[in-house]
Amino acid sequence: MQIHDSPTPSVFKGADLGQGRGVYISTYGCQMNVNDTERMYSLLEMSNFAPVKTPEEADLIIVNACSIREKPVHKVYSEVGRYKKLREKNPRLKIGVGGCVGQQEKENLIKNQPLIDFVFGTDNIDSLPNLVSQVFSGPGKVIQTKFEHRAPYHVETLVRNPGVSTFVNIAKGCDNFCTFCIVPYTRGREKSRPMSHVVMDVRNLVKRGVKEVTLLGQNVNSYNSEDGADFADLLKKVATDTEIERIRYTTSHPKDFNEKLMHVMADHQDKICEYVHLPFQSGNSEILKRMNRGYTRELYIEKINQMKKIIPNLVLSTDIIVGFPGETEDAFQDTVSLATELEFETIFAFMYSPRPFTKAAQFTDQVEEPVKNERLNRLFEAHEKMAFELVKKYQDRTLNVLVESINEQGKAQGRSTQNKLVYFMGSSDLIGKTVPVRITQAFPSVFRGELQQ
Ligand code: 5AD
Ligand code: SF4
């Protein structure tokens, strides 16, 4: 078996590398992964591959898999295993694995599953057309997982049909090394795009009909552009120097969320949504220290209170991990109290899962699975009770909803500036418009309402 870790060639656009072959990409994971898949499709389409809707129609299948939680590698093996029959029917079919799982597992994937023809990492997406053409032209297996540590991060946003709302990457990688997290290993060192490139991207998207952008990075508020701008500067620039109607961003880190950013949000509320996702992970300072998060429970509370003072009508959500090594029942109760007292309208909570390469996976005081499970359920229960009460304030209020889609029965779907999913009856000419909707039913995760004329 010939395996080579070739250097990453430059982006290759426009050549007929694909010869019209069908490509199908299966994606699981975060918004970053969804965005990467869109980039892969765009690059492959430029090289004359034809995106198809099912694996059955494809000559090229790529599994783009996230490895942040659970057992993603097993998922990849079982998915690829299911393609055995397709390979028998179509011997020309090539199968590749990318994303964080590709970065993490490298040649192991090919050794353990011979159906896999190529593996590529998170920093090698731009050379995908060349890599795939190499795969189609030779019998060998191809692996490309080198990080481009020194190369600047200069990539334009590539989306085929951007729709009403789209993502714009502003930074990649992470240098925080939270002890539970695999991202610094799978996405590499943190790098920011120049501010002028981001602004240009947003302007181009506006020309294509986009109304809302979500600025995306593992830790957006440590954004540090080569022209000296920080995240608050970038946000302000996008708000003032482009015609975009709405701006969101994710994800923030509490230690880097400064007052300057709060003021930019408050000063530009006509465009920047008043919604902030600020993961606290644990409500117990001892656990936070072992997580290497860089703040205490008290500092987090202080920051939220300051944000509430500066940003009018602030809406909050957070990420939480339960059952981190060493978490006692008391420490868990600290998490429950923080999740319910700080008025998070939405929480994303997960059981701790030991990840390869990370420090916490080596900690000897791991919490047993049934305990984690039971704590997760209790946390959701406590939060839901609070959230049901909290969202009652939206009842009968009129929210500005940006309409994203409408189904055949005339049911429109959109989001309010508070990031609430709102359903109401409407017509297809409303897509892309921001309309007033009176809320008739408010549940923690979805609202129903009536269009106001
Ligand atoms: N186990 C459980 N949850 C994790 N997250 C990150 N790493 C792990 C892990 N090892 C969660 C964090 C993070 C979110 C994206 O995923 O809460 O904010
Ligand atoms: Fe992972 Fe921490 Fe970086 Fe977030 S800040 S991506 S949790 S290491």
Nearest atom in ligand 2 to the alpha carbon of residue 181 is 1
pLDDT at 10 over 50: no
The pLDDT score that the predictor gives to residue 33 is: 87
CA of 329 to the centre of ligand 2 (A): 25
Rounded to an integer, the average pLDDT of 356-375 is 97
- In whole angstroms, what is the distance from residue 286 CA to residue 416 CA? 37
Q: How far is CA 98 from its chain centroid?
A: 16
Taking only the tens place, the pLDDT of each residue in 244-292 is 999 999 999 999 999 999 999 999 999 999 999 999 999 999 999 999 9
Binding site membership of 277 for ligand 1 (Cβ less than 6 Å): no
Q: Which residue minimizes the CA distance to atom 1 of ligand 2?
A: 181
The pLDDT score that the predictor gives to residue 352 is: 97
Banded model confidence at residue 450, pLDDT cuts 50, 70, 90: very high
Nearest atom in ligand 2 to the alpha carbon of residue 251 is 4
pLDDT at 112 over 60: yes
Structure tokens at 120: 């590529």
Taking only the tens place, the pLDDT of each residue in 150-193 is 777 878 888 888 899 999 999 999 999 999 999 999 989 999 99
Taking only the tens place, the pLDDT of each residue in 11-23 is 445 577 778 899 9
pLDDT at 5 over 90: no
Give the residue among 243, 164, 213, 215 at the shortest CA–CA distance from 412. 164
Question: What value does the mean pLDDT of the chain take?
Answer: 92
Taking only the tens place, the pLDDT of each residue in 385-417 is 999 999 999 999 999 999 999 998 999 999 999
- In whole angstroms, what is the distance from residue 132 CA to residue 118 CA? 8
pTM metric for this prediction: 0.90
Domain ranges of the chain: 3-144, 150-273, 395-451
DSSP string, 212-279: EEEEE-TTGGG-B-TTS-BHHHHHHHHHHHS--SEEEEE---GGG--HHHHHHHHHTTTTB-SEEE--
Give the residue among 167, 170, 172 at the shortest CA–CA distance from 186. 172
What topology is assigned to 395-451 in CATH?
OB fold (Dihydrolipoamide Acetyltransferase, E2P) (2.40.50)
E strand or H helix that includes residue 97: strand 94-98
Binding site membership of 357 for ligand 2 (Cβ less than 6 Å): no
Ligand nearest to the CA of 30: 1
User: Is 150-273 CATH 3.40.50.720?
Assistant: no
Q: What are phi and psi of 280, to 5 degrees?
A: -105, -20
CATH, domain range 3-144: 3.40.50.12160
Nearest atom in ligand 2 to the alpha carbon of residue 281 is 7
Provide the 3-class DSSP secondary structure of residue 451: strand
